[in-house]
Chain A
Amino acid sequence: MTDKMQYERPVIKPLNTGLMNKFGTRTEYEPFTHIDGVAVADIIKEFGSPVFVFSERKLRENIRNARRIFETRYPKVQFAWSYKTNYLNAICNVYHQEGSWAEVVSRFEYDKALQNGVPPDKILFNGPDKTDSDLELAAQNNSPIHIDHLDELYRLIDIAAKMKNKPRVAIRVNMDTGVYPMWDRFGFNYENGQAWDAINKIMATGKLNLTGLHTHIGTYMLSAEAYGVAAYKLADLAINIKNVHKKNLAYIDMGGGFASHNTLKGSYQTGADSVPPISQYAEAITTALLNAGINTEELPWLYLETGRALIDDAGFLLGTVISNKRLADGRRATIMDFGVNILFTSFWYNHKISPAQPFGNYTEDCVLYGPLCMNIDVVRENVTLPPLNAGDHVVVHHVGAYNISQSMQFINLRPAVIMIDMKGKPHMIRKQEKLETLERDEVVPDYLSKFKL
């Protein structure tokens, strides 16, 4: 047996010399057998397939690196982990251990951050959907409340009237940064004066403590300059507040949105080739803040709510080939045991996918489908891969952001999530869903409890 050759499916591929290859790049052909020294095959054997894997080493490296880049350019920097990006407690706590506060956009996320032990005055409360009871709690807790719209501002003024302490607030500001479409549905607009009016309203009531300004100009922003424009406009508001209201703001919060190294759909360049490094964003923001004309002693803290750029490349999805098919038009289709249910970001990204075992030099173009019984379950429309056999493993790269929090429980149970610690030891950080997990909150009325077929 041992003298037989390793098997690979027979493959034939037309040669279109001179035509541009739209099927991805050579780097996708590298086998990817280990994550932080742990064999992909062993992880799947122990925890099943599919399975999400996070590298604690990479998580910590990324936040340390980002802090260093900002802190060497600006004296007062504070990161707040954007919970929606990935709110598994183990993940959040890695960031908290690295000094990050919490940024939340709902009561559910707020309670999660409290439960994780984040001091309430270090939880930034964003988002358009805060109820009166959310606002009351946050105000009592002295959490910075980032006001999104006028209705919220008026409700908060009413709530504050009944309180001894002034709630700490910032307003969210949206603005033209030269990047379109403009995210103008959140917050108060800078150019048309809404933001300034809201600031004057807050100062006039005397019931709220205006401590900061917030913006989040968009997500996966490929332009570092846009951040420079945004920082400059917020600094301009801060200077006006100082001049008119004699008040120094404690912070300017630049939100999230730095691009990660994924490749957006429709882009001919890979993410790695087109995405600005964090240092470029940092340079744009800190240069604007330092040169806006604020007195050096009165420089505000710089808050950052960076999400995907800190976590995308620390997350991997391991999966297994279910079957290969030939489509009616001759294209090869490979069916995986994971689909858009757990890899939500395949709607936006052409995720890089590597086989997890060695293979020959030959590749073929194929479409990668998930296991769901629906047509939209496409993981990659076009990808060049070596011939994969049923049972082979693959690794999907850069899946750390938004997939855990946006995954759908649809048709299949959601998989386990593993974190490989700094010493290379895997820990389960979320168990695989079970039927009981899902049915725990279901209620079947008595009269529907029985049937005869």
Chain B
Amino acid sequence: MKLKSNVAVSDSGFVFNAATGDSYSINPIGQFIFNLIKNGATEEEVIKHILKKYSVDRPTAEKDLYDFKKILESYKLIDTTNE
């Protein structure tokens, strides 16, 4: 899971894709995950960080991260071709 090079995240929760000109808003946990991905965290590491910071059980976190990843893929914001 790798952020595409032309994607930028602002501190206020906006995502900008310079390649397409599209922008997006994300919620705080989405931003938290985005920053982890940006810093090269693996999926398992992301899960661990979420479980540490938020009151949530593992299956829920996994399910939601899976879905989030799918939607990032569909917006062409991350690259998963090497997984």
Given contacts A7-B60, A326-B70, contact A14 B55 (CB under 8 A): no
Given the complex of chains A and B, what is the CA–CA distance between A387 and B26 in angstroms?
A: 12
Neighbour of A13 across the interface among B25, B53, B72, CB < 8 A: B25
Which chain A positions have C-beta within 8 A of B52?
4
Q: Which of A10-32 contact B (CB under 8 A)?
A: 10-15
Measured CB to CB, the residues of B under 8 A from A are: 14-15, 22-30, 33, 52-56, 60-61, 64-65, 67-68, 70-72, 74-75, 77
Query: Would A330 and B24 be within 8 Å (CB), given that A5-B55, A7-B56 are in contact?
Result: no
The CB with the most chain A CB atoms within 10 A, among B24, B29, B61, is that of B29
Q: Which residues of A contact B65 (CB under 8 A)?
A: 10
Given contacts A12-B72, A14-B75, contact A360 B27 (CB under 8 A): yes
Chain A residues, CB < 8 A from B77: 12
Q: A389, B22: Cβ atoms under 8 Å?
A: no
Complex contacts, B26 vs chain A, CB 8 Å: 10-13, 362
A10-B70 Cα distance, complex, nearest whole Å: 12
**Does A1 belong to the interface (CB within 8 Å)?**
yes
Contact pick for A12, options B15, B54, B55, B60, CB 8 Å: B15
**Interface residue A6 (Cβ < 8 Å from any Cβ of B):** yes
A361 within 8 A of B: yes
Contacts of B30 in A (CB 8 A): 10-12, 362
How many Å from the CB of B49 to the closest CB on chain A? 12
A362 to B26, alpha carbons, bound, how many Å? 7
Nearest CB on B from A254, distance (A): 50
Cβ of A357 < 8 Å from any Cβ of B?
A: no
A360 to B25, CA, bound (A): 13
Contact B25–A12 (Cβ < 8 Å): yes
Given contacts A5-B53, A6-B54, A326-B71, contact A15 B25 (CB under 8 A): yes
Knowing A324-B67, A330-B74, the reply to whether A360 touches B28 (Cβ < 8 A) is yes
Q: Which residue from chain B places its CB closest to the CB of A2 in the assembled complex? A: B55
Chain A nearest Cβ from B3, distance in angstroms: 13
Shortest CB-to-CB span from B33 to chain A, Å, is: 5
Report B-chain residues with C-beta under 8 Å of the C-beta of A246: none
B48 to chain A, nearest CB (A): 13
Name the distance in Å between A145's Cβ and chain B's nearest Cβ: 60
Q: How many angstroms from the CA of A9 to the CA of B65 in the assembled complex?
A: 8
- Knowing that A10-B65, A326-B70 touch, tell me 11 more A-B residue pairs with CB under 8 angstroms: A4-B54, A5-B54, A7-B54, A7-B56, A10-B30, A10-B64, A12-B75, A13-B24, A15-B25, A330-B71, A390-B60
Q: What are 17 residue pairs bridging A and B, where the CB atoms are less than 8 Å apart in the complex?
A: A1-B55, A4-B54, A5-B55, A8-B28, A8-B29, A10-B33, A10-B68, A11-B26, A12-B24, A12-B68, A12-B71, A13-B24, A15-B24, A330-B71, A360-B27, A362-B25, A387-B27
